[in-house]
Amino acid sequence: MTDLGQHLKKQGLATSTRQKYTAIAAAAGESDPVAWLNRRLTSKTPIGTVLPLRAAVKHFLLSEGYSAEEIDALLPKAKGRPNGLRDALTPDQLAAYYLAVEEEVDEPCRTILLLLPRTGMRISEVCNLRIENLVSRGGVKGLLFRGKRDEERFVPLNTPALKAVMAYVEQYQPTGWLFEGNSAGPITPHAVRIYTRRLREKHPELGDLSPHVLRHTHATHLLRKGADLRAVQALLGHKSINTTARYLHPDAGMLQEAVERMG
């Protein structure tokens, strides 16, 4: 997989994406990854699963010298069942979530879980932050980092988010990774998801809680407060505004507010 690793790096993909594609390609094997992909995909496979599997096999074939035309002819089309929309946490649920995190989650996952709905960052982006990513830009304290597609992004920290981060930094004095794991590297998204699963099981009122639902919550609450769609796109790090729009479907509370305003 050395050639694949070099190929992915040349594409400028984020470290987390390169790791994901390498793992998928390893699972597919080098003998017949196309057959492996075809076995994995059905009309019921969520499109969110189809796309990374297909992309990983495509990049592997490119690294092996296949042309783009040959690959398009070999690979199945990127069809699948659309991802179901997952509701964002309501304001009441979010308040209950913050309370549960404060009381029941150990560091550094505690601070990470306090940040996710306040920044809208992907779980992999938060886990891979370094202390130097905490910066001031134009007098605004925030996080400057390279996210998906290795593109630079600045996410301002609101007062509660900044308070949580600075309290963590003051107590633990990180010098490399902002949130260090058990082996001197960054904490893994898996370690954080363990806590979201525990919270979901212990607090069923939080619904289908996950790091992605927390990202969705951030976007939905920005929309509720009147944020410009382009600003939300920049904060979430989406290449296309159509992707942002999918996050911002009105929830039941927003629909009720709209109806109430009609009188």
Note the pLDDT tens digit of each residue in 112-168: 999 999 998 988 899 999 999 999 998 999 999 887 767 788 999 999 999 999 999
Active-site entry in 215, 216, 218, 221:
215
Residue 239 has pLDDT above 70, yes or no: yes
pLDDT for 151 equals: 78
Q: Is the confidence at residue 219, as pLDDT, over 70?
A: yes
Quote the pLDDT of residue 82.
Answer: 52
DSSP 8-state code for residue 88 = P
Q: Is 247 a catalytic residue?
A: yes
Average pLDDT of span 13-32: 82
Question: Active-site residue among 20, 40, 148, 224?
Answer: 148
- Mean pLDDT, residues 62-84: 72
DSSP bridge pairs for 130: 177
Would you tell me how many other CB atoms lie within 10 Å of the CB of residue 49? 14
* 148 annotated active-site: yes
For residue 96, name the pLDDT band (cuts at 50, 70, 90). very high
Residue 221 appears among annotated catalytic residues: no
Please report, rounded to a whole number, the percentage of residues in the chain having pLDDT higher than 70. 87
* Annotation says 218 is catalytic: no
Greater confidence, 197 or 39?
197
**Which is more confidently placed, 133 or 261?**
133
Predicted confidence band of residue 233 (pLDDT cuts 50, 70, 90): confident
The single residue of 141, 212, 246, 249 carrying the catalytic annotation is 212
**Does domain 91-261 bear CATH number 2.60.40.2470?**
no
Q: Is the pLDDT of residue 77 over 90?
A: no
In this model, does residue 46 exceed pLDDT 60? yes
The one catalytic residue in 40, 238, 246, 249 is 238
Question: Which run of H or E residues covers position 156?
Answer: strand 152-156
What pLDDT, on the 0 to 100 scale, is given for residue 116? 95
Residue spans in the chain of domains classed CATH 1.10.443.10? 91-261
Burial of 215 by CB count in 10 Å (0-12 exposed, 13-18 middle, 19+ buried)?
buried
Average pLDDT over residues 204-226: 87
Residues 6+ apart with CB under 8 A from 86: 208, 210, 212, 213, 216
Q: Which of 118, 122, 216, 218 is catalytic?
A: 122
